[in-house]
A and B are shown apart, each in its own frame.
Chain A
Amino acid sequence: MAANPMYQFNVYRIGPEIKIGEIDLSFTNASLFMVISSLAILIIFNLGAQKKNIIPDKIQLLSELSYTFVSKMISDTAGSKAKPYFSFIFSLFMFVLFCNMFGMIPYSFTVTSHIIVTFVLAAFIFIGVTIIGFIKHGFGYLKLFVPSGVPAVLLPLIVVIEIISYLSRPISLSVRLFANMMAGHTMMKVFGGFVVSLGIVGGWLPLSFSVALTGLEILVAFLQAYVFAILTCIYLNDALNLHH
């Protein structure tokens, strides 16, 4: 069973079956890693926030650097108007990052390798951004679909394309993260399987590949979290500062 590279993505129940009506809300391995990631974030940042040294120590520096990193990312992409959404984007970035990183531990579970999780996050962002846009600009937000400086002949086509691209945002956002995580972990599993099947004679090549892939995957884990957060910022920017 373990040779199947998709086996690692299986979700299974941990503990008792929890059912409300017909809905299954059981605690699964996915839930476990969501809890672990959240707790890790909370513990690390709580430790970092409790110290008030002028010259920070390691954990304080970690949390403060993360804070300024996300803060700078938001102000660079979405401007100063996006400040009220800082907490959300920070939580989002950290949650995705920690889920990705915990997924890199062997025999662990990658929460973000499930389309439903990333899609719920992306859909929440999409709906939230749309609501913010309509609150800030009213029906003027629809101008987002009408770029300025486009010849009138092309306008109907452009508007349709803009609407499709806008509506596909949650899908592209969620599939990007999900597919990256799934593909990377599948590759690693496949190469790991090669190491076993080729044994001590031929296993060295896939093993070195595996090592290299691990490094690459850690990079991807960070990069995808960053991309997820920065795309959220860009969408937020569209809603806050209507550029079109």
Chain B
Amino acid sequence: MKKIILLNIFYFSFCTVAVKSAEKGGMPQLDPEFWVSQIFWLTITFGTLFLVLSKFILPRISKNLEQRRLQILENIETAEKQRKQSEKNLKEFDEIILKSKNKAKEVMLAAREKVVSEITKKKMKLDEDLNSEIQNVEKEIIELKLSSPKKINSIASNITNEVIKRLIGTDVNESSVSALVEEELKKLSRSTNGI
């Protein structure tokens, strides 16, 4: 209800305002008194605006924009170049690392081989040495074995000689003594062989 009253008030006041304005002679826009003046001043202001904008201001803005565009393009280009360069560097780096790894492996392998071969060489030498030593010793033993009866003979004959000398007090013929000892030994050896 209140709304309707308010709207009615609006409506009536709008009507009165409209009527009043119509009575006052309507639109000032249609009064030609200042038309020429408005056209004149419009031409001057708009003309000046257009001239100053087109001659001085807009070219500068356009130049700024163009410069920025170029700068950005340049930056993008540089960034792209740097990216490529860094990728290349990374690749090179990877390659270098791979190469050095391979090299390190090679060096390690070579060193190992060298060490192994040296060790085997040394081992072989050592073995040889040992073998020759053993052979020598064996030879010596064999020699000793071979020479020992003679020596034993001589020692035995000497001892026998000495013993006889002590017992009897005179020198005995050495050759007879040794022949005796030899005979005894032969007997001994035969008896030992016989056993």
Contact = CB atoms under 8 A, between A and B. Distances in A.
B62 to A, nearest CB: 7
Interface string B51-72: 0111011101110110110010
Given A28-B37, A206-B10, A4 B24 contact: yes
Interface stretch (B13-21, B135-143, B149-157, B182-190): B13-21
A194 B13 contact: yes
B98 interface: no
A87 B49 contact: no
Given A4-B21, A52-B67, A198-B9, A25 B37 contact: yes
A224 to B, nearest CB: 16
Contacts of B36: 23-25
A64 interface: yes
Given A24-B34, A194-B10, A6 B71 contact: no
Nearest to A46: B57
Interface in B5-29: 6, 9-10, 13-14, 17, 20-21, 24, 26-29
Contact of A10 (B28, B38, B61): B28
Contacts of A206: 10
B64 A64 contact: yes
Contact of A49 (B29, B41, B60, B68): B60
B33 interface: yes
15 contacts: A9-B29, A31-B41, A37-B45, A45-B58, A87-B53, A88-B50, A90-B58, A91-B50, A95-B46, A116-B29, A116-B35, A117-B38, A178-B29, A190-B14, A202-B9
